[in-house]
């Protein structure tokens, strides 16, 4: 079945450590996205990528980094510069067109900083 | 900048009854798209329904329908014959086109937590 796989589902990090969240899709989608979800704030866009080797900052990119070396993969690194990294992270993907592209989401990763 | 507002943090409805979730948005764009996504306790985001702004006809998907009022910038979701499985957080979302239409970014509201009571 086609879909998006995020791993790990739960991750614990000590302050000062970088962590990388994995996102893999087999939908042959060109565009991929990372969102952060906090209680009472909905989803906010961190980074997005339209094609391989290209990505743009979203609304809250500070303290995060991404790479897009393969079409199927869009890992997110939460760096020690992110002041409040504890959150639920959602990866999504979509086709590229001028129409109403529907985003397909992964099951999410919960990051907790100890 | 576009904003999406969901003014009802929580709602409750009896099984088999009808409920309407509110959403308003602010934009200067003329062409855009609106969505309702559902996030059940599993936290998997699932598309419920979508609406193209250029279409006057309200979108319908089985028990789910929208009331799209473009002039008022309102996009409410009506759930008919509510079922226990409808219990979830519901997010309204706005999509504009960026970079010449090659990529679409979703802007989400803060969500409405709907509880369907037996």
* Angstroms from A104 CA to nearest CA on chain B: 8
Cis check for the bond before A8: say yes or no (omega within 30 of 0): yes
Contact call for A107 and B52, based on CB within 8 A: no
Nearest CA-CA partner of B45 in B107, B97, B88: B88
* pLDDT 10s digits, A6-39: 999 999 988 889 999 999 999 999 999 999 999 8
- What is the residue whose two structure tokens read 């067109």? A97
Contact A43 B103 (CB under 8 A): no
What is the per-residue pLDDT for A98?
A: 62
Which two structure tokens, joined as six digits, stand for B86? 């409808």
Q: pLDDT per residue over A45-72, tens digit each?
A: 999 998 899 999 999 999 999 999 999 9
CA distances from A111 to A20, A48, B106 (A): 10, 20, 22
Bridge partner residues of B96 (DSSP): B105
Coil/strand/helix, residue B71? coil
Nearest of A61, A109, A63, A111 to residue A83 by alpha carbon: A63
How are beta strands B10-14 and B112-117 bridged, if at all?
parallel
Q: Tell me whether A39 touches chain B (CB under 8 Å).
A: no
User: Looking at per-residue confidence, does A33 or A95 come out higher?
Assistant: A33
Residue A16: the pLDDT is: 87
pLDDT, residue A2, reads: 73
The mean pLDDT value for B60-65 works out to 96
DSSP-based three-state secondary structure for B25: strand
pLDDT of res. B39 = 96
Both structure tokens of A63 = 């303290």
Chain B neighbors of A45, CB-CB under 8 A: 105-107
In this structure, of A54-58, A60-64, A79-83, A90-94, the range with the lowest mean pLDDT score is A79-83
pLDDT in tens, B90-116: 999 999 876 655 456 889 999 999 999
Three-state DSSP state, A54: coil
> Which pLDDT tens digit goes with each residue over B72-88?
999 999 999 999 999 99
The whole-number pLDDT of residue B103 equals 58
Please check the confidence at residue B9 and state whether its pLDDT lies above 90: yes
Residue located via tokens 């003014």: B7
Which of B20, B48, B6 is closest to A41 using CA atoms? B6
Q: Which residues of B touch A (CB under 8 A)?
A: 4, 9, 33, 35, 42-47, 50, 52, 91, 95, 97, 99, 101-111
Q: How far is B31 from chain A (nearest CA, A)?
A: 10
CA-nearest residue to B42 within chain A is: A107
Residues of B within 8 A of A41 (CB-CB) are 110
B54: confidence class by pLDDT, cuts 50, 70, 90: confident
The pLDDT value recorded for residue B98 is: 64
Q: What is the pLDDT of residue B55?
A: 87
Alpha-helical regions (H) of chain A: none
């Amino acid at each position: 079945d086609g879909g998006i796989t995020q791993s790990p589902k739960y991750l614990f990090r000590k302050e000062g450590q970088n962590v990388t969240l994995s996102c893999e899709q087999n939908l042959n989608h060109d565009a991929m996205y990372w969102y952060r979800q906090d209680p009472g704030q909905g989803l906010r866009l961190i980074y997005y990528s339209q094609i391989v080797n290209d990505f743009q900052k979203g609304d809250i990119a500070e303290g995060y980094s991404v790479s897009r070396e393969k079409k199927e993969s869009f890992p997110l690194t939460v760096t020690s510069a992110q002041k409040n990294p504890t959150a639920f992270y959602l990866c999504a993907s979509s086709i590229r067109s001028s129409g109403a592209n529907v985003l397909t989401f992964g099951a999410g990763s919960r990051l907790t900083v100890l | 900048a576009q904003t999406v507002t969901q003014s009802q943090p929580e709602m409750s409805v009896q099984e088999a009854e009808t409920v309407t979730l509110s959403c308003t948005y602010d934009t200067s764009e003329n062409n855009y798209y609106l969505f309702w996504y559902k996030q059940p306790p599993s936290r998997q985001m699932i598309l419920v329904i979508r609406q193209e702004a250029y279409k006057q006809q309200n979108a319908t998907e089985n028990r789910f329908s929208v009331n799209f009022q473009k002039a008022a910038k309102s996009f409410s979701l009506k759930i008919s014959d509510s079922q226990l499985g409808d219990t979830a957080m519901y997010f309204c979302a706005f999509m504009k086109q960026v970079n010449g239409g090659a990529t679409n970014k979703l802007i989400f509201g803060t969500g409405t937590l709907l509880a369907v009571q037996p």
